[in-house]
Chains A and B, each alone.
Chain A
Amino acid sequence: MTEIFNAQGILKTFPGVKALEDVSVSLTRGSIHALLGENGAGKSTLIKVMTGVYRPDGGTMMLDGAEYEPQNTHDAIVKGIGVVHQERNLIPRFSIAENIFLEHLADQPLRRIDYPKLFQDAQRWLDLLEIDADPATPVDRLSVAKMQLVEIAKALSLNSKILMLDEPTASLTPHETDTLFGILRRLRDDGASLVFVSHKLEEVQEICDSVTVLRDGQNACESRRLDELGRQDIVRLMIGRSEMIPDWVARDRAEGQPVLELSNVSTKLGHKAVDLKVHKGEIVGLYGLVGAGRSELAKAVLGKFEITDGEVLVNGISAKINSVADAVGRYRIGYVSEDRKSEGLVLIHSVLENVGIPIWRRLSQFGGFLTNGTVRKHTVPFIQKLEVRTPSLEQQVGNLSGGNQQKISVAKWLAAEAQVLIIDEPSVGIDIKTKAYLHELIRELSDTGTAILLITSDMPEMIALADRIVVMNEYAVMGGFNNTRDYTEMSEGIMGLIQGDETAAA
């Protein structure tokens, strides 16, 4: 097999973070290559570098024997790298044919479009991809699966040498997925080079030939043949080794009245009969692959999504949570978001403003009046305790580093004296030192009695911190066990539960 694309030593840095460091990938003709990694591992950054969205800060790329340095996304398409994005990029009211040939509807901008010819050309692509539809149909009348195929037709019509598919099956039914895979296999056999990005490992194993795994912005493996790797091997490559686990003793804090209890909770989003207990001073780790419904469950507890069945109990009493304001104000449940830039913090406001938000109401006197002095008194101790490095309290949070931003989003809930703290992927985009510090802090926080629900896809983090591990998959709890802090035993137990293998949970 001949190589068509090769990237060597790709480096991409953003202020404060090395998103990609010395990353290499090699693609061959007539193969389907999997690109894997957990959230924040650098997958999407790599895709953006390959498709001309970002310019790499170092490294070289070769495409079809020539140096490849895309200046922008259009340039990448012209040179032969096409992408089918996770989010739809079709124009709803336009016909299938118009969408496929959107980039070159006519030879010149003001030339009349030759519709009969356009439809004829489109029909060829529809036949090739076995899409049963009239080229003149507006794409918004198509099923999601057919839209996906139209996007693939569009990318192929641009003479793509490499076609990247970002989570192409995310919104397809199993049957539609099978059809898509049949087509992808045929394209491969015709000599196409495809890159397949997915979180569904079984799909990757079914359709891909080789795999590159990224972890923390680096190659965990580069272009290895998939037939020599088992599922466990891939998972281990994705989530890392056991070395980073601090030497803490295992604890059992599951005693007495749970502070937060979910009893038979189902939600509109599809959670099925979820049971979960978090006790005072306990860290319960909620493990699952991306898309398992963990953050969504957290937000349902917070009152952002509707709970259709079952109930949430706080300190043993059924909680009436109709909005996040209820959860925060009445039940003191805090949530540290995985998406701190858009959900955790107000980037254009100052450090002091951000940390004080949940307690302004409580601190105000004489019918709502509030002074900075009062806010300072109740927030600065926590800002100092967390060693937030900022030139001043008036500094805009958006100007601080990722680690300091994360400290602020935690400090906010310390100041709010949360009795339950839900922490979602706390170490995404954070340097190792701050990560270790945050781990110590979370542990310390649980010692002061806060009930903590830790959501993470980072296996070492999970085993370092959790007292009890609960595994979720496809919006349901698969099971749980106490953390013995034995890495191999725990990671195998977790993977066993994800695969639905009950015996491994013992």
Chain B
Amino acid sequence: MGGPLRFLLSNEFGLIVLVLLFGILFSTLSPAFLSKFSLYALGRTSAVNIMIGFSMMVVIITGGLNLSVGAIGVGAAMFGGWLMQAFGMPWVPGVIGGLAMGAALGALNGVIIVRSGLHSFIITLATMSIFFGVMIYLTRAESYREISPAFTSYGRMKILGVISPLLLVTFAVAIMLSVLFRFTALGREMLVAGANARAAEISGIRVNRMITYCHMLSGILAGVAGLMLVSRTGAAIPSMAGQLGQDWLLPAFLGPVLGGTLLTGGRLSVLGTLLGSFLVTMLTTGLLLMQVGAFWIQTYLGLLLLAAVLIDLARRSYLERRKLL
């Protein structure tokens, strides 16, 4: 079984083909698609969406999910914003504070899930409301606008006129995640704990701890996404992810699922999530440019998700029959 053929049959390759196909389609139908501004906006939005996808991905590998990604992301961003506004902190400690908040909220999710033994669905549904409600109460639903200028100007920078520096952050995180899950004992143990908790435990892995770590990492990544939005808009706004942070849920699931992260846990693809989230963002941007109504965009995204999982199913059964998987 040669390496190149294997790659051609991979999910990632399929996504690259789709990205190219839709790229050609959109640029022929709407010349504005390839304009400098459009590409810049696409990169900027993708950067955040990919990060949101990563945040969900690292919990999906436990066989669970995290409905509170949005609430945690906004909570972390608001905390970072508050540190910068109320104490006039420079951006570095502000960002560290925000990420610490994300980590703490994520870890709290993990601890409750592990201790209670309940499914993450119900726990994170509850904490989504709790985190968001407490955040609204503490901030009185007001934005923090006195953000360190060094931080906000970074989010608005244009490298070579088209590349958003937020993409660099996303790529850096993608590389770190790849290294974590491929080249560290910790990352591998997280995956094994998610793939088969009983076997992992018998092999000496502290499964509960690994699951908690996954949720904590999810919180940190949600915090990164939230702070990226702060950097981009120049303010920490309680409504930046919609009511209860729900606006993040669709991108959060679409990226990993399209990217081939196994919903039952134990297997992920960082590159796949990156491509999946990018594809979704590109479709949204392209359809908007073609002035397709917003409700149609939702429909198309839904169809895309359905088509993607069906194609993936066919691909998998083909590979399984040939024992290539």
Chain A residues in the interface with B (C-beta under 8 A): 302, 304, 323-325, 327-329, 335, 337, 342-349, 353, 356-358, 360-361, 363-364, 368-371, 391-392, 396, 399, 412
Contact = CB atoms under 8 A, between A and B. Distances in A.
Given A325-B204, A329-B204, A368 B199 contact: no
A369 B192 contact: no
Nearest to B325: A396
A357 B266 contact: no
A357 B200 contact: yes
A325 B205 CA distance: 6
Given A323-B206, A325-B204, A358-B203, A368 B198 contact: no
Nearest to B188: A360
Contacts of A343: 198-199, 202
Nearest to B194: A346
A369 B184 contact: yes
Contacts of A392: 1
A347 B203 contact: no
B184 A368 contact: yes
B12 interface: no
A356 B184 CA distance: 12
B6 to A, nearest CB: 10
A371 to B, nearest CB: 6
A385 to B, nearest CB: 20
Contact of B195 (A304, A349, A370): A349
B195 A346 contact: yes
B183 interface: yes
Interface size class of B (residues with CB under 8 A): 20 to 34
Given A335-B202, A357-B203, A368 B186 contact: yes
Contacts of B44: none
B323 interface: yes
9 contacts: A323-B206, A324-B202, A343-B199, A346-B199, A353-B188, A357-B204, A363-B185, A368-B186, A399-B325
A346 B185 contact: no
B267 interface: yes
A350 B1 CA distance: 15
Contact of B266 (A344, A349, A358, A391): A349
Contacts of A347: 196
A353 B184 CA distance: 12
B198 A342 contact: yes
A358 B206 CA distance: 11
Given A325-B204, A369-B184, 19 more contacts: A325-B205, A325-B206, A337-B199, A343-B198, A343-B202, A344-B202, A346-B192, A346-B200, A349-B267, A353-B192, A357-B192, A357-B200, A357-B203, A358-B204, A363-B185, A368-B184, A370-B183, A370-B185, A391-B323
Most buried by A among B184, B199, B323: B199
A364 B185 contact: yes
A349 B192 contact: yes
B247 interface: no
Contacts of B185: 360-361, 363-364, 368, 370
B262 interface: yes
A424 B323 CA distance: 30
B201 interface: yes
Contacts of B205: 325, 357
A348 B267 contact: yes
Given A353-B192, A370-B184, A337 B202 contact: yes
A374 to B, nearest CB: 10
Contacts of B323: 391, 399
A342 B201 CA distance: 11
Most buried by B among A325, A335, A392, A399: A325
A118 B325 CA distance: 53
B186 A344 contact: no
A412 B1 CA distance: 26
A345 B199 contact: yes
A357 B262 CA distance: 20
Contacts of B198: 342-343
Contacts of A337: 199, 202
Contacts of B1: 391-392
Given A347-B196, A370-B184, A360 B202 contact: no
A348 B262 contact: yes
Interface string B268-282: 000000000000000
Contacts of A364: 184-185
Nearest to A356: B188
Contacts of A360: 185, 188-189
Most buried by B among A357, A370, A391: A357
A328 B192 CA distance: 16
A337 B196 CA distance: 14
Contacts of A368: 184-186
Nearest to B204: A328
Most buried by A among B189, B201, B204, B325: B204
A305 to B, nearest CB: 12
A255 B16 CA distance: 65
Contacts of B204: 324-325, 327-329, 357-358
Most buried by A among B184, B200, B202: B202
A346 B196 contact: yes
Contacts of B189: 357, 360-361
Contacts of B266: 346, 348-349
A347 B199 CA distance: 10
Nearest to B6: A394
Nearest to A349: B195
Nearest to B196: A346
A337 to B, nearest CB: 6
Contact of A342 (B184, B196, B203, B262): B196
A369 B206 contact: no
